[in-house]
Structure 1
Amino acid sequence: MKLLAGALFFAMGLSSVLGTLPPSHSADQCPNTSLILRTFRLTVTCNITTLKEKQLKDIQAPVTNLYLPILYLLAFSVGLPSNIMVLWVLVFRTNRLPSMFFLINLTIADCLLLLVLPFRIVYHFRGNHWELGEPFCRVVMAVFYGNMYGSAWFLALVAIDRYVALVHPFKALTLRTQRMSVYMTVAVWTVVLAAMLPLLMSRQTYVLDKLQITTCHDALPEEEHENYFLPYFSTLFACCFLLPFAIILFCHSAVLRTLLAEGKRYAHAIRVTVLVLLVFIVCLLPSNVLLLLTYADIWVDGDGEDFYIPYMISLAVSTFNSSLDPFIFYFVSTEFRQKLKRSLCCSGDHQGQPSSKGNNISSSTSQRTNVTLVSMTRRQTVT
């Protein structure tokens, strides 16, 4: 309930800020306007843009127009098929348990993020040139960022679920209910929608005449940056990355301490827990830190040039978090692999059938409490 109340408060706060959204600039206006191309400063005089030589090279560099879309293509090729298979098994081949809401919604968020990557791939292969119009650019960027941070929050909910089940087993039966899972899931989607409204309601495409390209989310007026987008991204960093990151770190640390105290029988579950932490830190921490440093550098009158390419690369790397989630949470489970094999072979696995190994797809934990992330049966063992 506290999480739901916090989500609603966050949504109301962001909604009130929407009233200060800067208006879109008409193409017929002809004042001098200072824009920022992600981390670049550029000047527009009568809609004619100018860039420094180094900035021209960076925005058209092979790193931006070749290696970056290749990273996105790899994340898409690996992540989307695996997440779709996982979603199929979770929806049609597993028990309808309260904590399953977290896993299903985590997979949905990962799928939605990966589904918009082809548009980013084409955009970068085309030299950062957007040809699909302003409205669709807004939608793509809102889905991209929204599901990235939504995935972070669902990972935090999974961590809370594991923490309660293992560290506080006597409270697990009362706290891990279907109603509570639904409330927390709705709260996360409310936060994500509220956080993405500013991107949906503000202009995202700008024409760079010197390069003859139309950027999508890569350029914005400097005044809008300082007065609106700097506090917006700072709030997004604090509420949608830093807070879930702190929750994940605390919960997994407590789980690790508990598992280490149990002995070698839990070595596999310990490795999975460490892997979850490492992937989250490696994939999501650099992009969020560089995002904050980029905007802070521009705010103190720096040009931020040195952060442009590192940030763009780190943003592409962050999508691998969604690609790797299925392998961390599901494919490490022997039972999940068996269910997937039965599904692919059409062998008629009966939904909800109990197993001697249990349904611990997500974390392979809690032999001590016999309460795991996806099953509360007494016959579970750690996979």
Structure 2
Amino acid sequence: LVFRTKHLPSTTLLINLTLVDCLLLMVLPFRIAYHFRGNNWELGEPLCRIVMAVFYGNMYGSVWCLAFVALDRYVAVVHPLRARTLRSQRMSLYMTGMVWVVILAAMLPLLLSQQTYRLNELNIMTCHDALPGGEQENYFLPYFSTLFASCFLLPFLIMLFCHSAVLHTLMAERTRYANAIRVTLLVLIVFIVCLLPSNVLLLQTYADSSLDVDGEDLYVPYMISLASSAFNSCIDPFIFYFVSPEFRKKVKSMLCCCDNHENQISSPRNMSSSSGQKSKVIVLPMSSRRGTPESENRLSPNCRYHRS
């Protein structure tokens, strides 16, 4: 579908979102195996750093991808007359570049700091789950506070504003745009449910080492919320692709076109009779007719930690 879809500005963002989500999902098996082994990491310090850096970097990169997709749809729906200028391929490339800058910036501190620590009393090697108090307060608290503000709170406010404005515009013709309204609401609700709890719990975990709350009390709820934030990346494709009737119709048309093309190649009669016809290309449009919002496409994500 990527190679058969016209690379409109919105599709560039959505393809980038898919790539970011896939990179995040690639490291999930390592985290799952780690927790099933009783939080015992057996793959070494370098791989632990890579897994955690990719996990958090792509999780927050996914959040910014969603914010840029929301911003793109806001311009298309609320300001259609300015969309031709603002929604350019160059602008989408700038947004894509910013996403990867965010990812690399989020990954760097985790790649440069020690992530594995042995707990002798439990005879396990933890990976980013048990940190010395001084390092937690002086290094990871500023790091995750910055991530929370710049890579969750800011894009969340952008999404909230853009989706609210889009919904206000679409509600004027709610019957005509009922599907677009449902998808917009679904994107916003899934984002809040999957990502808000883990980010709040993450910040609470690091915020004050003097809290009269045992780390064990926060660890289990945080791990559950972190799993839900990772699940956000799994359901992105269903939200942005498969809930769209137009997309399903185009997929079926593309598959039928491929079948017809194979039949024409295998049949000499079809080859001779179709030699004078122009080839037909099925394009999966990511935008609807003028004044109609683009068909939806899309995350991620979140964090960790067990106070030793």
Shorter-chain TM band: 0.7 to 0.9
Match in the other structure for 2:83: 172
Match in the other structure for 1:258: 169
**CA drift at 1:219:** 1.2
Cα offsets for 1:176-224 (capped at 9, x unmatched): 1111111111011101101210001000001111111110010111111
Q: Which moved more, 1:277-286 or 1:220-229?
A: 220-229
Match in the other structure for 1:372: 294
Match in the other structure for 1:68: none
Judging changes above 3 Å, is the alpha-carbon distance between structure 1 residues 353 and 257 closer, same or farther for their aligned structure 2 residues? same
**CA drift at 1:373:** 6.1
Q: 1:241 aligns with which of 133, 152, 159?
A: 152
Aligned-CA RMSD value: 2.2
**CA drift at 1:322:** 0.6
Which stretches in structure 2 are left out of the alignment for 5+ residues? Answer: 263-278, 297-308
AA partner of residue 241 (structure 1): F
Cα offsets for 1:359-383 (capped at 9, x unmatched): 44xxxxx655256369xxxxxxxxx
Partners of 2:251 and 2:61 in 1: CA distance: 26
Partners of 1:120 and 1:352 in 2: CA distance: 43
**CA drift at 1:171:** 0.8
Q: Residue 325 of structure 1 aligns to a residue in which SS?
A: helix
Q: Where does 1:87-166 land on structure 2 (aligned, <5 Å)?
A: 89=1, 91-166=2-77
Are the equivalent residues in 1 in contact too, given 2:57–2:102 (CA < 8 A)? no
Q: Where does 1:70-81 land on structure 2 (aligned, <5 Å)?
A: none
Q: Which moved more, 1:344-353 or 1:115-124?
A: 344-353
Match in the other structure for 1:27: none
Are the equivalent residues in 2 in contact too, given 1:99–1:373 (CA < 8 A)? no
Question: TM-score, structure 1 length as denominator?
Answer: 0.68
Q: Residue 328 of structure 1 aligns to a residue in which SS?
A: helix
Cα offsets for 1:230-252 (capped at 9, x unmatched): 11110010011001111111000
Partners of 1:351 and 1:298 in 2: CA distance: 64
Partners of 1:237 and 1:177 in 2: CA distance: 30
Structure 1 segments, 4+ long, off by >2 Å, are: 297-305, 334-355, 370-374
Q: Residue 206 of structure 1 aligns to a residue in which SS?
A: strand
Partners of 1:340 and 1:373 in 2: CA distance: 14
Are the equivalent residues in 2 in contact too, given 1:142–1:200 (CA < 8 A)? yes
Are the equivalent residues in 1 in contact too, given 2:75–2:82 (CA < 8 A)? yes
Q: Residue 265 of structure 1 aligns to a residue in which SS?
A: coil
Are the equivalent residues in 2 in contact too, given 1:93–1:351 (CA < 8 A)? no
Q: Where does 1:217-236 land on structure 2 (aligned, <5 Å)?
A: 217-236=128-147
Q: 1:290 aligns with which of 182, 188, 201?
A: 201
Partners of 2:50 and 2:62 in 1: CA distance: 18
Q: Where does 1:297-308 land on structure 2 (aligned, <5 Å)?
A: 297-300=208-211, 302-308=213-219
Match in the other structure for 1:215: 126
Cα offsets for 1:48-89 (capped at 9, x unmatched): xxxxxxxxxxxxxxxxxxxxxxxxxxxxxxxxxxxxxxxxx1
**CA drift at 1:305:** 3.1
**CA drift at 1:344:** 6.6
Match in the other structure for 1:272: 183
Q: Residue 92 of structure 1 aligns to a residue in which SS?
A: coil
Match in the other structure for 2:270: none
Judging changes above 3 Å, is the alpha-carbon distance between structure 1 residues 154 and 99 closer, same or farther for their aligned structure 2 residues? same
Partners of 1:371 and 1:271 in 2: CA distance: 12
Q: Residue 214 of structure 1 aligns to a residue in which SS?
A: strand
Match in the other structure for 1:41: none
Partners of 1:320 and 1:334 in 2: CA distance: 24
**CA drift at 1:301:** 6.1
Cα offsets for 1:249-301 (capped at 9, x unmatched): 10000000000012311111111110000100000000000111111242546
Are the equivalent residues in 2 in contact too, given 1:297–1:303 (CA < 8 A)? no
Higher RCO (Cα < 8 Å, 6 or more apart): 2
Partners of 1:275 and 1:205 in 2: CA distance: 38
Match in the other structure for 2:241: 330
Judging changes above 3 Å, is the alpha-carbon distance between structure 1 residues 354 and 119 closer, same or farther for their aligned structure 2 residues? closer
Partners of 1:129 and 1:343 in 2: CA distance: 47
Are the equivalent residues in 1 in contact too, given 2:180–2:293 (CA < 8 A)? no
> Identity, % of aligned pairs?
71
Partners of 1:179 and 1:253 in 2: CA distance: 26
Partners of 2:63 and 2:75 in 1: CA distance: 19
Partners of 1:128 and 1:344 in 2: CA distance: 45
Which stretches in structure 1 are left out of the alignment for 5+ residues? Answer: 1-88, 361-365, 375-383
Q: Indicate whether 1:195 and 2:124 are aligned.
A: no
**CA drift at 1:352:** 5.8
Q: Indicate whether 1:310 and 2:224 are aligned.
A: no
Between the two proteins, the alignment pairs up a number of residues equal to 278
Are the equivalent residues in 2 in contact too, given 1:113–1:144 (CA < 8 A)? yes
Q: Residue 131 of structure 1 aligns to a residue in which SS?
A: coil
AA partner of residue 44 (structure 2): G
Q: Residue 161 of structure 1 aligns to a residue in which SS?
A: helix
**CA drift at 1:324:** 1.0
Partners of 1:115 and 1:359 in 2: CA distance: 27
